[in-house]
Structure 1
Amino acid sequence: MDRIAARSQPYVLSLFRFVTGLLLFHYGVAKLFKYPPVEIFEDVTPLSLWGVAGMLELTLGGLLMLGLFTRPAAFVLSGEMAFAYFIEHLPHSFFPIVNDGALAIVLCFACLFLATAGAGPISVDALRR
């Protein structure tokens, strides 16, 4: 079992990178283009704090999906998710289950992992090497 898992690990890393980027990209689309319509994002303007976050999620999430400039994109997104947690979620409660910040924490550490692990073999970064 360990040998099979070890052989598939680089490809699972590429899949993990793509799905993480897709989630962030999806939030960027919802914030900036109002699709799908989500009540908490309906008043977001491009130059507001949430709008800038949406721009980062849209562009850097897209780079993550492609696997292009993965390490710097993931590092910036990790910081953005940490910032989002401390600014938006933590003031409501210390507990992530109460303040709805669990996704921000998970995305923060997923991006931190990608910043250290890289893009994996199925990526533009791998093609550029």
Structure 2
Amino acid sequence: MQSLNSLSRYAPYALGLLRIFAALSFISHGTQKLFGFPVPPSWGMPAAMTLPWIAGVLEVVGGTLVLVGFLTRPAAFVLSGMMAVAYWMAHGPKSFYPLLNGGEPAMLFCFIFLYIAAAGPGAFAIESRKG
């Protein structure tokens, strides 16, 4: 067990990598809604100022803040709440089971961002730089 405990010294780096890769994936949902990149949404591009468009803006702006590690905790907290709302508005009514309602990504993003809001940005963050 001693060898596994020694892995804890890598925890800030693992948290930083989780933050970066979750944010990159999250941003792609926003660029899809706002710019049709890498592919337009199957349900069509949202009109400006609609709920899906606002979600896209939050995904790009908030995701970028989390990605670079600037204002990480408040941005991650807002994104966690957004994903909880998205789950219950878009997925929960379809079925109780996340596997059946397509809500697994929303649930994972919700709890990953909640963890980042609580734990902080980890390594590789702008706000963690000294000097």
- 8 A Cα contact 1:81 1:105, kept in partner: yes
Counterpart selection for 2:97 from 89, 95, 98: 95
Once residues 64 and 82 of structure 2 are traced to their aligned partners in structure 1, the CA distance between those partners, rounded to angstroms, is: 15
Higher deviation after alignment, 85-94 or 43-52: 43-52
Q: Alpha carbon RMSD of aligned pairs, Å?
A: 1.4
Q: Which residue of 2 aligns with 1:14?
A: 16
Once residues 82 and 57 of structure 1 are traced to their aligned partners in structure 2, the CA distance between those partners, rounded to angstroms, is: 14
Moved over 6 A (4+): none
Relative to the length of structure 1, the TM-score reads 0.94
- 8 A Cα contact 1:32 1:45, kept in partner: no
How far the C-alpha of 1:95 sits from its partner, in A, is 0.8
Once residues 122 and 24 of structure 1 are traced to their aligned partners in structure 2, the CA distance between those partners, rounded to angstroms, is: 18
Structure 1 unaligned residues grouped into runs of 5+: none
Relative to the length of structure 2, the TM-score reads 0.92
Deviations 1:50-108 (A, max 9, x none): 10000000000001110011000000000000000000001111111111001100100
Counterpart selection for 2:62 from 55, 60, 63: 60
Once residues 41 and 99 of structure 2 are traced to their aligned partners in structure 1, the CA distance between those partners, rounded to angstroms, is: 21
Counterpart secondary structure, 1:40: coil
